[in-house]
Amino acid sequence: MKDKKAITIKTLTKSNVWDIQENDVFRMWEAASKDSELKDNIRHFIDIIKTAFEIEEVKVDKPVVIEKLEQRGFKVGAISIDEQNKQKVAIKKRAIMRVTDLTYENVGHISAAKLVEVLDRNFGGGWESLPQSIQDIIESAFDISTTTLPADRLHKAGGLYDKKMSDGYEVLEIPKGSWTEAIFVKEKSEEDTKPVVETPKSSSLDYDGEDDEDKDEDLPEDEDKQDDEDNDDAFDDDKLTEESYRTTYETTPDDLNYEAEEISDDSESDY
């Protein structure tokens, strides 16, 4: 879990709201009610709070009702509705108990140890049994690696298990008969979790620094190249070889024998 920075109502987002607690909500809510600029945006503030907190209006302000809410984990306090009126509300941080509770907004605000607890509570089929969408959410904030080995080899001295533990990974072991799958979990650094922004390719410069106008002037060369490709089958004296003169005649074996005798007679007469 990343180090928390000071969060104010003006810097509150659906992501960092997971870093604050119920008392912080009451404090920010009170600040919003006193700030004329923020007062008009109170609805926006409430929508952000609701992504990470349950909010219930206390309609019956009696000790027995308050006690029941507190037993359920709520904290009760008064908030300003307007300059004259206040309303009691109960607020409770939403628990992350199941993998389906994980979102891109909250996954970066839990620890690796907490993630291991969530994984251990939810499945026994191994990492690959998780839906791809859940894997993507987890891997956006955590470095995940897995291995499956015979149970008696998993903790072999100097093996992968020892290396991962020395590197600060948390581990969840899932028995699979005589084998064990180990899921290693480690929080990514802030640099690793920053979104990758692709640098747009320049529309005015190519790799050798020429601009678009120069590239346009080069276009005729492409036309010449196209003409060359179109003329590949054209006649070329330099490309003629002995094979180029091969001629095929339709004839019969008798005609060939006759022509062979004539050639033989001509050869004898030359001597």
Q: What is the pLDDT of residue 180?
A: 94
Give 113-123 pLDDT, tens digit per residue. 999 999 998 76
* Helix/strand/coil for 234: coil
Contact 138, 144 (CB under 8 A): yes
Helical H runs in 35-106? 36-39, 42-52, 63-71
Give the Cα separation of 78 and 65 in Å (integer): 15
* E runs forming strands in 7-57: 53-57
Mean pLDDT value of segment 54-73? 93
Stated as kind and residue range, the H or E segment containing 76 is strand 75-80
Amino acid, res. 83: E
Return phi, psi of residue 87, to 5°: -135, 135
Q: What is the pLDDT of residue 9?
A: 83
Global model pTM greater than 0.85:
no
Q: Which is higher by pLDDT, 70 or 189?
A: 70
> Is the model's pLDDT at 267 over the cut of 80?
no
Q: What is the pLDDT of residue 46?
A: 87
Give 188-231 pLDDT, tens digit per residue. 987 666 554 444 444 333 434 444 444 444 444 544 544 555 55
Give the Cα separation of 208 and 213 in Å (integer): 13
Domain boundaries along the sequence of the chain: 16-93, 99-193
The residues with which 179 forms a beta bridge, in sequence order, are 150, 176
**Alpha carbon 24 to its chain's center:** 32
Q: Return the closest-CA partner of residue 177 out of 202, 208, 200, 150.
A: 150
Task: Tell me the residue length of the chain.
Answer: 271
